[in-house]
Amino acid sequence: MRLAVGAVLACAAVPPEGAAAPAGLAEILAASPAADWRAIDPDDTLYLTLPQGRVVIELAPAFAPNHVANIKRLVRAGFYDGLAVVRVQDNYVVQWGDAQSTHPTGEGRLRLKAEFDRPYGAADPFVALPDPDTYAPRTGFAGDFPAARDPALGRTWLTHCYGMVGAGRDNDADSGGGPELYAVIGQAPRQLDRNVTLVGRVIDGMELFSALPRGRGDIGFYQRPEERVPILGIKVAADVPAAQRAAFRVLKTDSPTFAAVVHNRRFRRDAWYKVATGRIDVCNLPLPVRAGP
Amino acid sequence: MRLAVGAVLACAAVPPEGAAAPAGLAEILAASPAADWRAIDPDDTLYLTLPQGRVVIELAPAFAPNHVANIKRLVRAGFYDGLAVVRVQDNYVVQWGDAQSTHPTGEGRLRLKAEFDRPYGAADPFVALPDPDTYAPRTGFAGDFPAARDPALGRTWLTHCYGMVGAGRDNDADSGGGPELYAVIGQAPRQLDRNVTLVGRVIDGMELFSALPRGRGDIGFYQRPEERVPILGIKVAADVPAAQRAAFRVLKTDSPTFAAVVHNRRFRRDAWYKVATGRIDVCNLPLPVRAGP
């Protein structure tokens, strides 16, 4: 059978070439012990329902505690219900919510101090990647989110990789809070790192965002109200009856399995690849997610 | 007015903050002399027509002369007519053509030697970027295409950035040729660099690819024939009557204007950005394109 380019990405059924070669990705994940996976806390999970289906977002309270708390408050107050995806800019972001915060009850008007980055201590868990990064002195994973740190600054932050979710803001750094959210649908816009508060990441249903029609207005805004994609509802998973929840587990980035995944992605060795880069970008390493408890 | 995150990407109307600050991107482009732009050769331009509209592709004969010549031969033989986009894998590629090359006249069966990279001499034009890259010792632009080079190897190659177009192949490095093509629609899969022949890039209509429904089959293949997106036709622009051509110009990457663009993207200084990274990734610098002669 003729293999298409990159078939290998999911073609991990290709057997290892020898004892020294790493196993394929599918084999690595299939062999992983249950202890290497972490169930996502339903209290830090959002279900965002579009006409096309449900997007599942894992929140990142360890990096943006105040924004996450406020977004959950807004969700529980019904702030987003009846709002819409208003902007889809190709190779950049989708954006939803109410930039003007015109909600009749005044919800969404709270402005929060920026949570762009935070200090870190020597003991702070961080799974470092070994390769150079264009934008930051160190990249890796913190709490299983893609992240960076700068020892000179003593600061750490989440990185704007594909699928990351953030809180839009005005020119004032402290003008965000959650009424308007966005998700990255293109090449990682790393220039936004430390300029805007990231609050989580999409773990399921990403294609419901990324395949939306692009807006033809300035910077991808939909020009006519009828083009907007309505948000049928947003719920905190913990508020949904247990029987209706979708359980997800993510591979722990401090697990032996994840170390094997990183090695596998850095050194592609199979019948298709001719040259292994031996390198990996923090945003080119999608984090394995499994549906089911 | 409340600005959304990244409004600044297109919000270059924000005035410079002072004499030392770079002008906004829009001002830089508006002030550029005509000599800083290059008209795209109609003989190296493809029009790919989908039901949704027309995708324009600039071919890269300087890097893949044999693949480009063969693709043009296939276009002129009508090989792609009646074929379809068969695969859309989220955050990766769209793929079209006929992997099996079952064309009744035998077209598309020609297999070409790989054109993954090529040697370069000291005099070869290369507009280098100053920042570190995860995957290559040097990145920049060659012939206005994103590219990399390795002085130790003495080789240069095109990089798999968003919108780049390549020729799928089988496990044999020399099994490509053009019957099956792909375009990058997500985070740059740089692990493909030097593993597959890049033949060009999309310069207009990229959103017609990137917003296509994702395939639900293995690695994004459409599962049912009726899901496929038909190719209504592909033409070499030079074969289209001049009156029906769409003219495009690209900013020359060896121009003073492009140097200003790079500086502007590395050091974002306006009312929205709080921290300028001072860095730019070769795949995070979309190349300015203008419609019109």
Q: Is the pLDDT of residue B10 over 60?
A: no
Span of A61-70, B97-106, B187-196 with lowest mean pLDDT? B97-106
Interface size A-B, in CB pairs within 8 Å, comes to 207
Q: Which own/partner pairs from B99-105 qualify as long-range (CB within 8 Å, at least 24 positions apart)?
A: B99/A2, B99/A4, B99/B168, B99/B179, B99/B180, B100/A2, B101/B179, B103/B79, B103/B179, B105/B77
- Taking contacts as CB-CB distances below 8 angstroms, the residues of chain A near B280 are 134, 191
Q: Residues 255..274 of A with a Cβ closer than 8 Å to B: which? A: 265, 268, 271-274
CB-CB neighbors (< 8 A) of A190 in chain B: 277, 279, 281, 284
Q: Which residue does chain A place closest to B268, by CA atoms?
A: A191
Report how far residue A116's alpha carbon sits from residue A136's, in angstroms, rounded to the nearest whole number: 14
Q: Name which of B249, B253, B251 is nearest B125 in CA terms.
A: B253
Contact status of A169 with chain B (Cβ, < 8 Å): yes
Residue B171 in this model has a pLDDT that exceeds 50: yes
**What local confidence, expressed as pLDDT, does residue B11 receive?**
27
Q: Is the pLDDT of residue B127 over 90?
A: yes
Chain A from 87 to 116: CB within 8 A of any B CB: 87-93, 95, 99-100, 114, 116
**CB–CB contact A277 B190 (8 Å):** yes
* Dihedrals phi, psi of B42, to nearest 5 degrees: -60, -25
Q: Which residues of A touch B167 (CB under 8 A)?
A: 5
| pLDDT surpasses 60 at B50 | yes
Q: Which residue has the higher pLDDT, B214 or B270?
A: B214
- The average confidence (pLDDT) of chain B is 90
Tens-digit pLDDT profile for chain A (293 aa)? Answer: 233 343 333 322 223 333 344 568 999 999 999 999 999 999 999 999 999 999 999 999 999 999 999 999 999 999 999 899 999 999 999 999 986 766 666 666 778 999 999 999 988 999 999 999 999 999 999 999 999 999 999 999 999 999 999 999 999 999 999 999 999 999 999 999 999 999 999 999 999 999 999 999 999 999 999 999 999 999 999 999 999 999 999 999 999 999 999 999 999 888 899 999 999 999 999 899 999 87
Cβ separation B211–A206 shorter than 8 A: no
Q: Does B170 touch chain A (CB under 8 A)?
A: yes
pLDDT of A7:
34
Nearest one of B235, B231, B181 to B72, comparing CA atoms: B235
Asked if B6 and A189 come within 8 Å (Cβ–Cβ), the reply is: yes
The complex's ipTM? Answer: 0.92
Minimal-distance CA residue of chain B relative to A282 = B134
Cβ(B67)–Cβ(B180) under 8 Å?
A: no
CB A45 within 8 A of CB A246: no
Kindly report which listed range (A42-46, B98-102, B226-230, B267-271) carries the lowest average pLDDT score.
B98-102
Residues 116-135 of A with CB under 8 A from B: 116, 131-135
Interface of B with A in 22-81 (CB under 8 A): none
Given this model, what pLDDT does residue B98 score?
A: 85
Q: What's the confidence (pLDDT) of residue A104?
A: 67
pLDDT, average across residues B272-290: 95
Specify whether the CB–CB gap between B293 and B37 falls below 8 A: no
A186–B162: do the CB atoms touch at under 8 Å? yes
Give tens-digit pLDDT for B236-269: 999 999 999 999 999 999 999 999 999 999 998 8
Could you tell me the pLDDT band of residue B111, with boundaries at 50, 70 and 90? Answer: confident
* Chain A residue with Cα closest to B271: A171
